[in-house]
Amino acid sequence: MRKVFQADLQQIGEELIEMSRLVATAMERAYESFANADIELAQEVIGEDAKIDFLQNQLDERAIDVLALQGPVASDLRMIVGSLRMSASLERMGDLARHVAQLARLRFPQQVVPDSIAPTFQAMAELDIAIAGKVGELLDSRDLAVAREIIELNTKIDELHVSIFKAVASPEWSHSGPMTADVTLTSRYLERFGDHGVSVARKVSYLVTGEWDPDITVF
């Protein structure tokens, strides 16, 4: 029984890592479609989000089966419940990558954002992809130094997010209403993606230490 249980736990852990890989790829491809106004790629990313949703459902069903059949307690129980939370965060990261691709599709063949803003979004997307990669690494290693790295990467995203609003508020900003709205939404999507990565990092940290780390907070 115990052996089956350990195999289940390991399977759930691997599915979380697989989800983190898929969302890293989703954001990488979504941003590529966005930056290059590549509608075929955008369509692919949008279609492939279903795979992430499917994986979440599969993981959640497995977790519920483990709860029903194995009746875990203490840290094992918290691990399973934590997995349900983490799969929800990862699924949401997939949605946000999809939203970026949907903006690319909506504005095709135009670019979504002005050239002056593109490098900032490029940097935010790269930080998001790095965070998704680190989330996989953290889930695998449970090394809390990686959790700290995720927080630091997310702090940089927040700074870039603020810089976008400063650019929109500057006297030089002369872009149209729709472009300003698209810039605002893109910045929000890229910023929220990082926040969900931090949520996973907090959860792993809690599961490892048994305590919420006050330095790992997300708003």
Cis peptide before 214 (omega within 30 of 0): no
CA 198 to chain centre: 9
C-alpha to C-alpha distance for 185 and 112, rounded to whole angstroms: 11
Residue 204, H or E segment: helix 177-209
**Please, which of residues 52-111 interact with its own copies by CB under 8 A?**
60, 63-64, 67-68, 71, 73-74, 77-78, 81, 84-85, 88
Give me the 173-212 binding string for its own copies, x by CB under 8 A, dash otherwise: x-xxxx-xx-xxx--x------------------------
Output the smallest distance, CB 66 to its own copies, in A.
Answer: 11
Burial class (CB in 10 A: 0-12, 13-18, 19+), 22: buried
Q: What are phi and psi of 71, to 5 degrees?
A: 45, 55
- Give the residue with the Cβ less far from its own copies, 28 or 91: 91
- Give the residue with the Cβ less far from its own copies, 97 or 130: 97
- Give the residue with the Cβ less far from its own copies, 177 or 210: 177
- Give the residue with the Cβ less far from its own copies, 46 or 135: 46
Q: What is the DSSP letter of 8?
A: H
Residue pair 109/37 in contact (Cβ under 8 Å)? The answer is yes
C-alpha to C-alpha distance for 75 and 190, rounded to whole angstroms: 33
- Give the residue with the Cβ less far from its own copies, 28 or 182: 182
Q: Is 47 in the site for its own copies (CB under 8 A)?
A: no
Output the smallest distance, CB 73 to its own copies, in A.
Answer: 5
C-alpha to C-alpha distance for 71 and 129, rounded to whole angstroms: 36
Q: Which range in 1-9, 11-19, 129-137, 172-180 contacts its own copies by CB under 8 A? A: 172-180
- Give the residue with the Cβ less far from its own copies, 13 or 114: 114
Q: How many residues bind its own copies (CB under 8 A)?
A: 29
Burial class (CB in 10 A: 0-12, 13-18, 19+), 139: buried
Interface positions with its own copies (CB under 8 A):
60, 63-64, 67-68, 71, 73-74, 77-78, 81, 84-85, 88, 165, 168-170, 173, 175-178, 180-181, 183-185, 188
